[in-house]
Amino acid sequence: MPPRLRSALSAVLLALSCLLVPFGTLAAWAAYGLADTGRYVTTMAPLAADPSVREAVADTVGDGILRAVDQHMDVRPAGGTPAGGGSLRPFVRDAVRSFTQTEAFRLAWDTGNRVTHDAVLRALREEEDDGTAGRPVTVDLAPVTDQVKRQLTRDHVPLAARIPVEHTAVSVLPASRLAAFRKGFHVLEVAGLWLPVAAVALAAAGIALAVHRRRAVAATALGTALGGALLSLAVAVGRGLTLADLPADVPHPAAGAVYDALTASLRTASWLLLGLGLAVALTTWLTRRLRLSRPTRPRPPSGPDTPPPPSVHTPTQART
């Protein structure tokens, strides 16, 4: 193969490899990081101690309890005015906030995340014709409500024992978006495996085909570093876009904490790509500089007009 054609083909393969690096990293993170229930629960566990997350949980659970109280409690004192959720509101808020600081809440947090993740994964991996296509993915808040009710009862809060504990289904994935998420999830499962493999294969083929392999290695390393930098920038931009698209009733500090926790491993991977690429490129450049600066011995001339080397007479030859 002509050298120019080899160089052009090598450049194309290396460019494709560097282009696939950030996309392959993103797909692998989504397919093997987010889609693994154990890793997801471990990632979300520290958020049980985050103040913004605790406040968001307290507001959500407290509002759910008060709505249930307003719907099912009809207690009238002597004056005839119904004593519903309004009289319990400060007690419920305080009780839920106190509950979020206990070990029971951390266990409930882990259990809730595990149940939610399992429900979403089960819905994404099921076929569309199994009867679940028109139903949203929901989780039950009854265990948390029961824990808060018990605490209010232990604190002797009036009417706490009459708080209804019902199986309230909270939608975590609407039915209208389930089909699109299901297709995207299947694509990510395939891409998470084959995109990194394709990136490595293209890089190896491009380096093997290059005329100057040292330069090819350096170019691949710089392209990998650039891909890591772009991936890190994409994570930062995605955070702002994600928070901007949230409804007004969703607390942004808590959502930001969840986004940061979920993308922590992706940010780490992007910085590793950046650092590894720069390190390999720098090492390649330094080894080339050292090789060029090393003194070389002149080669003896050769050819028909080259004079023969001078003969060396030993003492024995001189006597003979």
Per-position pLDDT tens, the chain of length 320 = 788 888 899 999 999 999 999 999 999 998 888 888 889 999 999 998 999 988 888 877 777 677 766 666 554 444 444 444 456 667 777 777 887 887 777 877 888 788 888 888 888 887 654 555 556 777 676 766 676 677 667 777 666 676 666 666 666 667 777 777 788 888 888 888 899 999 999 999 999 988 888 899 999 999 999 999 999 999 999 999 988 888 887 788 888 999 999 999 999 999 999 999 999 999 988 887 777 776 656 555 555 555 665 555 555 544 54
Residue 180 is predicted with a pLDDT of 78
Residue 36 is predicted with a pLDDT of 87
Residue 261 identity: A
Tokens 């106190």 belong to 98
Instruction: Using the CB atoms, write b or e for 151-179: b if 16+ within 10 Å.
Output: bbeeeebebbeebebeebeeeebeeeebe
Residue 231 is predicted with a pLDDT of 94
Q: Alpha carbon 278 to chain centroid distance?
A: 23
Residues 6+ apart with CB under 8 A from 193: 28, 31
CB 224 within 8 A of CB 21: yes
Length in residues, the chain: 320
Tokens 């060396």 belong to 312
CB 266 within 8 A of CB 232: no
Cα gap 92→86, rounded to integer Å = 10
Cα gap 9→2, rounded to integer Å = 11
- Nearest Cα residue to 197 out of 31, 80, 39, 10: 31
Residue 298 is predicted with a pLDDT of 58
Helix crossing, 264-293 with 213-244: angle to 10°?
160
Q: Alpha carbon 109 to chain centroid distance?
A: 20
| 314 C-beta neighbours (distance < 10 Å), count | 8
Token couple for 178:
């389930």
Residue 313 is predicted with a pLDDT of 54
Residue 301 is predicted with a pLDDT of 59
For residue 6, the 8-state DSSP code is H
Residue 71 is predicted with a pLDDT of 66
Residues 6+ apart with CB under 8 A from 211: 3, 6, 7, 10
Residue 134 is predicted with a pLDDT of 57
pTM for this structure? 0.73
| E strands, 167-244, in order | 169-173
Per DSSP, the three-state class of 172 is strand
